[in-house]
Structure 1
Amino acid sequence: MEKATQVFWDRGYAGTSTDDLRNAMGIGRQSMYNAFGDKRQLYLEVLAKYQAKSVETHLRRLNEQPSAREGIRAMLKGLAVEDDRVRAMGCFGVGATGEFGITDPELSGMSANSRALLGERLVAKVREGQSAGDIAPHLDAERAAAFVILTMTGLQVAARAGANVQSMHAMADFAVDLLRVG
């Protein structure tokens, strides 16, 4: 599964052939079909696992920090992976959205569920920050959370386009500073 994830993440769905998957996974064609069904089913399975792990990682970074703003900062900066090759791959989930848009209801639903889970926690975190005096009280918590998710998407696309760690961190800091009081 991990090898299939890497191939799909790097090449996208359309750019990946069944032979690419078989070769990367080291299995025969029939074994692949018996274990995973067709290419689409394998794609859906690896994307679902990737998204679940990704959201879990984002939430962990968000919740580990002592303040709401620092949690958001840690989450955004965490997108700037030190390994140039890995960072340049961007986000598999964002890549899937870019490749399919809303043309595939099942994939759109998976993406929407991940965003909703992260969005709900971000709204709560913004409200916590507002109550603690860490985030400007005049901000609409839902819009602020949507802004953070939009910033995440932008950072992930920038990574895919070759952004370095320093520029990604600078943009993360800029976005987080927009949430501060005063």
Structure 2
Amino acid sequence: MRVFWAKGFAATSTDDLVQAMGIGRQSLYNAFGDKRRLYLEALEAYQHGTVASHLKRLGTPASPLAGLRNLLLGLVAEDDGLRGLGCMGVGSVGEFGASDPEVAALRAKAAPLLQARLVERIREGQAGGEIAPEMDAGDAADFIQMTMTGLQLAARGGAGLEDLHRMAAFAIDRLKAR
């Protein structure tokens, strides 16, 4: 997963994969069939893990606004090397767009879970007076997901920890009830 995450599908060679996994080429083919199947399995495992982490950070605090803040700040790794990888899922969008049906299907399976929970937390925040009541909860959830993508791309592009934290705080501040 880490090799695909760092390099993307096209730039990852079979040699890169067998070296990272410590197996022979034939073992890779026997276990996964081909590089593409391995990529799809790695992407699915990555998405499963990250969505679970996102949902946990979003739902853990009692305050919906704090949950949203935790969600965004949790995207920003403290470690420079890890932060610079950005997000494998966002990388797959950049590499494949909507042109690959299997990659798009993986995305379509994961995205609604986060979207639905974002809408719930935003509505909770509106009901509790933390989040601006006039906002459409779906639009606000889209804004948070767009911010997540932007933070990941900025991280991949070399943005520093403080800058990413500042961007996340700015986005959360837009949701606050005035």
Question: Which segments of 5 or more consecutive residues in structure 2 lack a partner in the other structure?
Answer: none
Aligned to 2:130: 134
The answer to whether residue 170 in structure 2 is matched with residue 164 in structure 1 is no
2:82 alignment partner, one of 81, 86, 97: 86
What SS class does the counterpart of residue 43 from structure 1 fall into? helix
2:65 alignment partner, one of 30, 44, 69: 69
TM-score (norm 2): 0.98
2:23 alignment partner, one of 13, 24, 27: 27
Question: Which segments of 5 or more consecutive residues in structure 1 lack a partner in the other structure?
Answer: none
TM-score (norm 1): 0.96
The answer to whether residue 95 in structure 2 is matched with residue 107 in structure 1 is no
What SS class does the counterpart of residue 169 from structure 1 fall into? helix
The answer to whether residue 43 in structure 2 is matched with residue 9 in structure 1 is no
Percent identity, aligned pairs only, is 55
Distance in 2 between the 1:112 and 1:178 partners? Answer: 27
What stretches of structure 1 move > 6 A for 4+ residues in a row?
Answer: none
Distance in 1 between the 2:109 and 2:23 partners? Answer: 32
Distance in 2 between the 1:121 and 1:97 partners? Answer: 22
> How many residues were matched structurally?
178
Aligned to 2:48: 52
Deviations along 1:132-168, one digit per CA (max 9) or x if unpaired, are 1111110000000000000000000000000111111
Aligned to 1:36: 32
